[in-house]
Amino acid sequence: MDQAIEKLLASLWSPFDALEALIAGWLPGQQVAAIAAFAFYVLVLLAGGLMAVGCRNLVRAMLGLVLTFLGVAGMYLLLASPFLAFMQLLIYVGAVCVLIFFAIMLTKNTGEGEESKLPSPATAVYGILAGLLPLLVLGPLVIAGADRLPQVAYGQTDTRLLGEGLITRDVVGFELISIILLVAMAGAVFLAWRKPGKNKNESEAD
Amino acid sequence: MDLSIANFAQIIIACLLVIALMVGNAVVMVYVERKACGFIQRRPGPYEVGPRGILQAVCDSMKLLGKQIYVPGNIDWILYFLAPVLAFFPVLLLYLPIPFGRHLTAMNVDEGILLILAFSGLGVVSNILAGWASNNKYGILGAARAVSQAVAYEIPMIMALLAIVFLTGSLSLTEIVERQGSWPWQWNIVVQPLAFFIYLVSLVGETNRAPFDLPEAESELTAGFHTEYSGMGFALFFLSEYANMLLVSFVCAAFFLGGYKGPFMDGFWWMFIKAYAVMVFIVWIRWTFPRVRFDQLLNINWRWLLPLSILNLWVTAVIVRFI
């Protein structure tokens, strides 16, 4: 039965294969398609970033951030590492953004509050400089060291290799990151802990 | 995965089939749900329209299609209309890696289960946006509940699935089904009963169904995050809720119940039989258990499901490593 379905599917796709062979001459090559996809993701990233920075409304700004994360995930897909792309979405869109949304909802946000004031010119300049700093430091480093990066063949960045790398060669970094996360979590619990039997004002006074 | 016209055509055809499945599923499930509810509560359920009320769901959907779209004042226009769309469209993507047969997948992704988990996060975002944008206190309360519930129940759900991934050594749904046998004692539910139980509880929490339907608890919040939506806006939320239910049932069938493999003859019919058995189970517990309180809902998750799933994962890892 399964073979029959497979044969049926193959016969269904054969006209498409013929069509593709027919117009293969004026189809753009993989290179052009990759550049087009790159341009599209760059646009998504820039639009999301501008929305996140420029929107007066915090919820819309968060939506811009979601768009940026989608663009980053697309970039990972383009780099043939779907695992990273899906983890990006799972962690940043599914957990981080959702938690920030939650925090926004718990605050009194009417759209006329503090977040809707335009920043002063000095703040804007500092902000732009702070944004450019990683670009100016990391960009030259990446470009200079491009030929020293380990070359991985297309389709070789599979999850198994990634996992093996993380628990053998790069285990120290991996564990350090988990310790940082643990410390952050313990700090959050400590800050939010309210001793039983005291009301809110008293515990804030401690 | 190579780029070719046949691949694109396959994905587009799959998306069309998924839309048909989503709509058909919602129509059938509305009838099944109301009849099952009637049976459990000892009343007839719908019986006026058509023989045994079988056309009731068709009537309901016609009513939804023809309804006036009522828009409340002072809303965030973009987000208000974006939210139902954002609820509906990611679901199409979620069905792509589901294997209905050994070769009967829209897109055989090696990280299939990760794709499903990643894009289901957008559904939560749409719930939040809907609650936020409709300028309604009930909506915001429903959205806040949806967030804390989704974030909480996602963790034991992923941990339960991860135990199966540990056993199989693959994130691909097809591979996981292939590693199970045709007969019930060869399925993953036998080796991972605790993971199955945890998954079953957290899928009810994840799809916002009673007894965990706090985001839309009608006795407290009118309709929660979709209070202010009428007509097709509501219908899109409704469709995506039922589509999500079907999706988690398909994942449950593939991970724990042998997927498309079954006694006598493997094939997509087993996938549908198993998934709909899980669906009927979800409907059954909806009308049997009372709705829990919100603190109870979170306590069940953080105090019971999460430690249990961590323990299960740890024991599985030790067994996989040393035995």
- A17 contacts in chain B (CB < 8 Å): 4-6
CATH topology of domain A27-109: Four Helix Bundle (Hemerythrin (Met), subunit A) (1.20.120)
Are B177 and B112 in contact by the 8 Å Cβ rule? The answer is no
Name the residue among B186, B173, B140 with its Cα closest to residue A101. B140
Which stretch of DSSP H or E encloses residue B319? helix B306-322
Which pLDDT band, with edges at 50, 70 and 90, does A8 fall under? confident
B230 lies within 8 A of chain A by CB: no
> How much is the pLDDT for A198?
56
Per the CB < 8 Å rule, is A159 touching B111? yes
Token digits for A121?
């010119």
- B140 contacts in chain A (CB < 8 Å): 105
- Mark out the alpha helices in B169-221 (DSSP H runs): 173-178, 188-191, 193-206, 218-221
**Residue A54: CB partners within 8 Å, gap ≥ 6?**
A61, A64
CA distance A127 to A106: 27
- B115 contacts in chain A (CB < 8 Å): 82, 86
> How much is the pLDDT for A202?
47
- The number of C-alpha atoms within 13 Å of B225 and in the hemisphere containing its C-beta is 29
**Residue A184: CB partners within 8 Å, gap ≥ 6?**
none
What mean pLDDT do residues B207-216 have? 76
- A68 contacts in chain B (CB < 8 Å): none
CA distance B128 to B142: 8
Nearest CA in chain B to A15: B6
What mean pLDDT do residues A48-72 have? 86
CA distance B3 to A30: 8
Greater pLDDT, A193 or A71: A71
Q: Round the CA-based radius of gyration of chain B to a whole number and report it.
A: 20
Amino acid identity, residue B262? G
The position carrying tokens 């039922």 is B242
B132 lies within 8 A of chain A by CB: yes
- A9 contacts in chain B (CB < 8 Å): 103-104
What mean pLDDT do residues A5-29 have? 67
Helix B231-256 / helix B137-168 crossing angle, nearest 10 deg: 20
B118 lies within 8 A of chain A by CB: yes
Given A87, A90, A102, which is nearest B144 (Cβ)? A102
The position carrying tokens 């209070």 is B227
What mean pLDDT do residues A25-36 have? 71
Per the CB < 8 Å rule, is B3 touching A33? yes
B120 lies within 8 A of chain A by CB: yes
Specify the 3-state DSSP secondary structure of B291.
coil
What mean pLDDT do residues B209-222 have? 73
Whether residue A134 is preceded by a cis peptide bond, meaning omega within 30 degrees of 0, is no
Residue A56 φ/ψ, nearest 5 degrees: -75, -30
Q: How many whole angstroms from its chain centre is CA B250? A: 9
What ipTM does the predicted assembly reach?
0.79
pTM for the whole structure: 0.82
B62 lies within 8 A of chain A by CB: no
Token digits for A24?
């293969």
What mean pLDDT do residues A40-67 have? 86
pLDDT for B1 beyond 50: no
Token digits for A141?
């480093």
CA distance B194 to B189: 8
> How much is the pLDDT for A108?
60
Domain regions of chain B by residue span? 70-322
CA distance B34 to B287: 10
B151 lies within 8 A of chain A by CB: yes
Domain regions of chain A by residue span? 27-109, 158-206
pLDDT for A1 beyond 80: no
pLDDT for B48 beyond 90: no
CA distance B141 to B147: 10
Percent of chain A clearing pLDDT 70 (strictly above): 71
- Mark out the alpha helices in chain B (DSSP H runs): 5-40, 56-66, 77-94, 112-133, 137-168, 173-178, 188-191, 193-206, 218-221, 231-256, 268-288, 294-299, 306-322
CA distance B270 to B277: 10
> How much is the pLDDT for A183?
93
